[in-house]
Structure 1
Amino acid sequence: MSYDVKANNWEYLDWNFPPVPEYCPRKLVRLGCSHYLLIVDFAPMWHIYDLSNMNVVETVEVDGLDKTAEVMYIFCCHNTSDESLIDMFMEPGNVFEGEPSTNTGSGVVSYARVKLQLKTFSAKIESKGNFNLGDYVNLYMFAVGDEDQ
Protein backbone atom coordinates (compact mmCIF):
# COMPACT_ATOMS: atom_id res chain seq x y z
CA MET A 1 0.00 0.00 0.00
CA SER A 2 1.08 3.53 -0.71
CA TYR A 3 -0.38 6.59 0.99
CA ASP A 4 -0.53 10.00 -0.67
CA VAL A 5 -0.67 12.49 2.21
CA LYS A 6 -1.63 15.45 0.03
CA ALA A 7 -4.56 13.64 -1.63
CA ASN A 8 -5.43 11.66 1.54
CA ASN A 9 -5.57 8.52 -0.59
CA TRP A 10 -4.38 4.91 -0.22
CA GLU A 11 -3.24 3.12 -3.35
CA TYR A 12 -2.44 -0.57 -3.80
CA LEU A 13 0.98 -1.24 -5.31
CA ASP A 14 1.82 -4.64 -6.77
CA TRP A 15 5.49 -5.02 -5.83
CA ASN A 16 5.88 -8.46 -7.48
CA PHE A 17 7.97 -9.78 -4.59
CA PRO A 18 8.71 -13.52 -4.68
CA PRO A 19 6.56 -15.58 -2.29
CA VAL A 20 7.88 -15.90 1.26
CA PRO A 21 8.74 -19.49 2.27
CA GLU A 22 6.83 -20.82 5.26
CA TYR A 23 8.39 -20.11 8.69
CA CYS A 24 11.15 -17.99 7.23
CA PRO A 25 11.97 -14.44 8.35
CA ARG A 26 12.66 -12.39 5.21
CA LYS A 27 15.55 -9.91 5.17
CA LEU A 28 15.59 -6.86 2.90
CA VAL A 29 18.79 -4.91 2.21
CA ARG A 30 19.20 -1.91 -0.07
CA LEU A 31 22.40 -2.24 -2.09
CA GLY A 32 24.09 1.09 -1.41
CA CYS A 33 22.69 3.96 -3.45
CA SER A 34 21.65 1.68 -6.31
CA HIS A 35 18.08 0.90 -7.34
CA TYR A 36 18.52 -2.73 -6.25
CA LEU A 37 17.08 -4.41 -3.19
CA LEU A 38 18.49 -7.69 -1.91
CA ILE A 39 15.75 -10.08 -0.75
CA VAL A 40 17.06 -12.95 1.40
CA ASP A 41 14.88 -15.75 2.75
CA PHE A 42 17.61 -18.36 3.28
CA ALA A 43 21.36 -17.63 3.25
CA PRO A 44 22.24 -19.39 -0.05
CA MET A 45 19.37 -18.02 -2.18
CA TRP A 46 19.11 -14.31 -2.91
CA HIS A 47 16.67 -12.39 -5.08
CA ILE A 48 17.89 -9.15 -6.69
CA TYR A 49 14.93 -6.81 -6.96
CA ASP A 50 14.86 -3.71 -9.17
CA LEU A 51 13.07 -0.96 -7.22
CA SER A 52 12.52 1.22 -10.30
CA ASN A 53 10.88 -1.56 -12.37
CA MET A 54 9.32 -3.28 -9.33
CA ASN A 55 10.37 -6.81 -10.28
CA VAL A 56 12.95 -9.49 -9.52
CA VAL A 57 15.74 -9.27 -12.10
CA GLU A 58 17.78 -12.24 -10.93
CA THR A 59 17.92 -15.06 -8.39
CA VAL A 60 21.46 -15.70 -7.16
CA GLU A 61 22.77 -18.83 -5.46
CA VAL A 62 25.63 -18.60 -2.98
CA ASP A 63 27.60 -21.85 -3.18
CA GLY A 64 28.97 -23.33 0.04
CA LEU A 65 26.02 -22.51 2.31
CA ASP A 66 23.45 -25.06 3.45
CA LYS A 67 20.08 -24.58 1.74
CA THR A 68 18.30 -24.24 5.10
CA ALA A 69 20.73 -21.75 6.70
CA GLU A 70 18.71 -18.87 8.18
CA VAL A 71 20.04 -15.33 8.32
CA MET A 72 20.02 -13.52 11.66
CA TYR A 73 21.59 -10.23 10.46
CA ILE A 74 22.71 -9.06 7.03
CA PHE A 75 24.47 -5.87 5.94
CA CYS A 76 25.72 -4.31 2.73
CA CYS A 77 29.01 -2.88 4.00
CA HIS A 78 30.55 -1.69 0.74
CA ASN A 79 28.93 -0.86 -2.56
CA THR A 80 30.15 0.36 -5.94
CA SER A 81 28.46 0.28 -9.33
CA ASP A 82 30.20 -3.07 -9.99
CA GLU A 83 30.00 -4.97 -6.71
CA SER A 84 28.67 -5.13 -3.18
CA LEU A 85 30.17 -6.79 -0.11
CA ILE A 86 27.50 -8.49 1.97
CA ASP A 87 28.11 -9.62 5.56
CA MET A 88 25.74 -12.28 6.93
CA PHE A 89 25.42 -13.67 10.44
CA MET A 90 23.42 -16.89 10.60
CA GLU A 91 21.29 -18.75 13.11
CA PRO A 92 22.96 -21.80 14.73
CA GLY A 93 22.57 -25.06 12.81
CA ASN A 94 23.87 -26.51 9.56
CA VAL A 95 25.30 -23.39 7.96
CA PHE A 96 28.27 -24.45 5.82
CA GLU A 97 28.08 -27.45 3.48
CA GLY A 98 30.31 -30.32 4.60
CA GLU A 99 31.13 -28.81 7.99
CA PRO A 100 29.82 -29.64 11.48
CA SER A 101 26.75 -27.78 12.64
CA THR A 102 26.68 -25.23 15.44
CA ASN A 103 24.27 -25.67 18.34
CA THR A 104 21.76 -23.24 19.79
CA GLY A 105 23.08 -22.01 23.13
CA SER A 106 26.71 -22.79 22.27
CA GLY A 107 27.63 -19.11 21.98
CA VAL A 108 28.80 -19.64 18.39
CA VAL A 109 27.55 -17.43 15.55
CA SER A 110 28.40 -18.32 11.94
CA TYR A 111 29.26 -15.58 9.48
CA ALA A 112 30.04 -15.22 5.79
CA ARG A 113 31.27 -12.28 3.73
CA VAL A 114 30.02 -12.53 0.16
CA LYS A 115 31.06 -10.51 -2.87
CA LEU A 116 28.08 -9.83 -5.14
CA GLN A 117 28.92 -8.83 -8.71
CA LEU A 118 26.16 -6.47 -9.85
CA LYS A 119 26.80 -6.68 -13.60
CA THR A 120 26.66 -10.49 -13.79
CA PHE A 121 24.59 -11.03 -10.63
CA SER A 122 26.98 -13.66 -9.32
CA ALA A 123 28.00 -14.23 -5.71
CA LYS A 124 31.07 -15.80 -4.13
CA ILE A 125 32.01 -16.31 -0.48
CA GLU A 126 35.14 -14.30 0.33
CA SER A 127 35.46 -15.41 3.95
CA LYS A 128 33.48 -17.50 6.40
CA GLY A 129 33.76 -18.88 9.88
CA ASN A 130 32.34 -19.00 13.37
CA PHE A 131 32.54 -16.38 16.10
CA ASN A 132 32.71 -17.86 19.60
CA LEU A 133 30.89 -15.17 21.57
CA GLY A 134 30.32 -17.19 24.73
CA ASP A 135 27.02 -17.10 26.58
CA TYR A 136 24.55 -14.48 25.43
CA VAL A 137 20.82 -13.97 25.80
CA ASN A 138 20.19 -11.38 23.11
CA LEU A 139 22.48 -10.49 20.27
CA TYR A 140 22.23 -7.19 18.41
CA MET A 141 24.41 -6.37 15.44
CA PHE A 142 24.51 -3.22 13.39
CA ALA A 143 26.67 -1.79 10.63
CA VAL A 144 28.62 1.42 10.86
CA GLY A 145 28.97 3.59 7.74
CA ASP A 146 31.46 2.41 5.17
CA GLU A 147 34.55 4.63 5.31
CA ASP A 148 35.60 3.62 1.76
CA GLN A 149 32.73 5.46 0.10
Structure 2
Amino acid sequence: MLDELSVIYPYAKAFHVMAVISWMAGLFYLPRLFVYHAERGQAPEPADSFIIMEQKLLRLIMNPAMIATWISGLALVLTPGIVDWSMVWPWTKAACVLGMTWFHMWCAGQRRVLLAGQGQPGRRYRMMNEVPTLLMVGIVLSVIVKF
Protein backbone atom coordinates (compact mmCIF):
# COMPACT_ATOMS: atom_id res chain seq x y z
CA MET A 1 0.00 0.00 0.00
CA LEU A 2 2.70 2.48 0.98
CA ASP A 3 4.72 1.67 -2.17
CA GLU A 4 1.73 2.64 -4.31
CA LEU A 5 1.71 6.02 -2.60
CA SER A 6 5.23 6.64 -3.91
CA VAL A 7 3.97 6.05 -7.46
CA ILE A 8 1.05 8.46 -7.15
CA TYR A 9 2.96 11.02 -5.07
CA PRO A 10 3.23 13.73 -7.78
CA TYR A 11 -0.49 13.44 -8.52
CA ALA A 12 -1.43 13.48 -4.85
CA LYS A 13 0.75 16.55 -4.36
CA ALA A 14 -0.82 18.36 -7.34
CA PHE A 15 -4.33 17.45 -6.14
CA HIS A 16 -3.41 18.62 -2.63
CA VAL A 17 -2.27 22.03 -3.89
CA MET A 18 -5.48 22.47 -5.91
CA ALA A 19 -7.64 21.44 -2.95
CA VAL A 20 -5.79 23.80 -0.60
CA ILE A 21 -6.23 26.72 -2.99
CA SER A 22 -9.97 26.06 -3.18
CA TRP A 23 -10.30 25.67 0.58
CA MET A 24 -8.30 28.83 1.29
CA ALA A 25 -10.38 30.85 -1.17
CA GLY A 26 -13.49 29.87 0.76
CA LEU A 27 -11.87 30.52 4.13
CA PHE A 28 -10.92 34.01 2.99
CA TYR A 29 -14.29 34.81 1.44
CA LEU A 30 -16.85 33.38 3.89
CA PRO A 31 -15.93 35.67 6.82
CA ARG A 32 -16.12 38.62 4.40
CA LEU A 33 -19.66 37.54 3.53
CA PHE A 34 -20.36 37.42 7.27
CA VAL A 35 -19.20 41.06 7.56
CA TYR A 36 -21.61 42.12 4.82
CA HIS A 37 -24.37 39.97 6.28
CA ALA A 38 -23.89 41.41 9.77
CA GLU A 39 -23.62 45.03 8.62
CA ARG A 40 -26.06 45.19 5.73
CA GLY A 41 -28.19 42.13 6.11
CA GLN A 42 -30.97 43.68 8.17
CA ALA A 43 -33.34 44.09 5.23
CA PRO A 44 -35.01 40.86 4.05
CA GLU A 45 -33.64 40.81 0.49
CA PRO A 46 -29.93 41.34 1.25
CA ALA A 47 -30.09 38.82 4.09
CA ASP A 48 -31.62 36.21 1.76
CA SER A 49 -28.84 36.76 -0.77
CA PHE A 50 -26.12 36.44 1.87
CA ILE A 51 -27.72 33.29 3.29
CA ILE A 52 -27.74 31.62 -0.13
CA MET A 53 -24.17 32.70 -0.92
CA GLU A 54 -22.86 31.55 2.48
CA GLN A 55 -24.61 28.19 2.23
CA LYS A 56 -23.41 27.43 -1.30
CA LEU A 57 -19.85 28.52 -0.57
CA LEU A 58 -19.68 26.32 2.52
CA ARG A 59 -21.48 23.25 1.17
CA LEU A 60 -20.37 23.20 -2.46
CA ILE A 61 -16.82 24.53 -2.28
CA MET A 62 -15.37 24.68 1.22
CA ASN A 63 -16.52 21.34 2.65
CA PRO A 64 -15.44 19.25 -0.38
CA ALA A 65 -12.15 21.20 -0.62
CA MET A 66 -11.39 20.63 3.06
CA ILE A 67 -12.07 16.90 2.73
CA ALA A 68 -9.94 16.68 -0.43
CA THR A 69 -7.16 18.61 1.32
CA TRP A 70 -7.18 16.23 4.26
CA ILE A 71 -7.29 13.06 2.14
CA SER A 72 -4.54 14.15 -0.23
CA GLY A 73 -2.49 15.55 2.66
CA LEU A 74 -2.70 12.26 4.54
CA ALA A 75 -1.66 10.43 1.37
CA LEU A 76 1.40 12.69 1.18
CA VAL A 77 2.25 12.19 4.85
CA LEU A 78 1.97 8.40 4.53
CA THR A 79 4.27 8.30 1.48
CA PRO A 80 7.56 6.73 2.63
CA GLY A 81 10.52 9.09 2.87
CA ILE A 82 8.55 12.34 2.55
CA VAL A 83 8.21 13.49 6.15
CA ASP A 84 10.97 13.43 8.75
CA TRP A 85 8.98 13.47 11.99
CA SER A 86 12.10 14.27 14.02
CA MET A 87 12.05 17.80 12.56
CA VAL A 88 9.83 20.61 13.86
CA TRP A 89 8.16 21.60 10.55
CA PRO A 90 5.68 18.70 10.22
CA TRP A 91 4.40 19.39 13.71
CA THR A 92 3.98 23.12 13.15
CA LYS A 93 2.25 22.43 9.84
CA ALA A 94 -0.03 19.88 11.51
CA ALA A 95 -0.90 22.37 14.27
CA CYS A 96 -1.72 25.05 11.67
CA VAL A 97 -3.83 22.61 9.62
CA LEU A 98 -5.78 21.68 12.76
CA GLY A 99 -6.20 25.42 13.39
CA MET A 100 -7.46 25.87 9.84
CA THR A 101 -9.94 23.03 10.34
CA TRP A 102 -11.11 24.62 13.61
CA PHE A 103 -11.61 27.92 11.76
CA HIS A 104 -13.64 26.15 9.07
CA MET A 105 -15.88 24.67 11.77
CA TRP A 106 -16.14 28.06 13.49
CA CYS A 107 -17.31 29.57 10.19
CA ALA A 108 -19.92 26.83 9.79
CA GLY A 109 -21.14 27.56 13.31
CA GLN A 110 -21.24 31.30 12.70
CA ARG A 111 -23.38 30.73 9.61
CA ARG A 112 -25.95 29.02 11.84
CA VAL A 113 -25.70 31.88 14.37
CA LEU A 114 -26.29 34.44 11.62
CA LEU A 115 -29.29 32.44 10.38
CA ALA A 116 -30.74 32.72 13.88
CA GLY A 117 -30.23 36.50 13.75
CA GLN A 118 -27.63 36.48 16.53
CA GLY A 119 -24.42 37.15 14.63
CA GLN A 120 -21.36 38.97 15.85
CA PRO A 121 -20.65 42.60 14.93
CA GLY A 122 -19.02 43.09 11.53
CA ARG A 123 -15.77 44.17 13.23
CA ARG A 124 -15.45 40.75 14.90
CA TYR A 125 -15.77 39.00 11.53
CA ARG A 126 -13.18 41.37 10.05
CA MET A 127 -10.73 40.42 12.79
CA MET A 128 -11.46 36.70 12.43
CA ASN A 129 -10.88 37.03 8.69
CA GLU A 130 -7.15 37.35 9.49
CA VAL A 131 -6.96 33.92 11.14
CA PRO A 132 -6.62 31.87 7.93
CA THR A 133 -3.92 34.26 6.68
CA LEU A 134 -1.83 33.77 9.81
CA LEU A 135 -2.29 30.00 9.66
CA MET A 136 -1.39 29.97 5.96
CA VAL A 137 1.85 31.82 6.74
CA GLY A 138 2.69 29.17 9.34
CA ILE A 139 1.93 26.34 6.92
CA VAL A 140 3.91 27.79 4.01
CA LEU A 141 6.92 28.65 6.16
CA SER A 142 6.84 25.18 7.71
CA VAL A 143 6.74 23.38 4.36
CA ILE A 144 9.12 25.59 2.38
CA VAL A 145 11.69 26.57 5.00
CA LYS A 146 11.40 23.25 6.93
CA PHE A 147 12.63 24.74 10.21
Smaller-chain TM-score bracket: under 0.3
Q: Greater share of helix residues, 1 or 2?
A: 2
| TM score, norm. by length of structure 1 | 0.23
Looking at secondary structure, tell me which structure has more strand per residue: 1
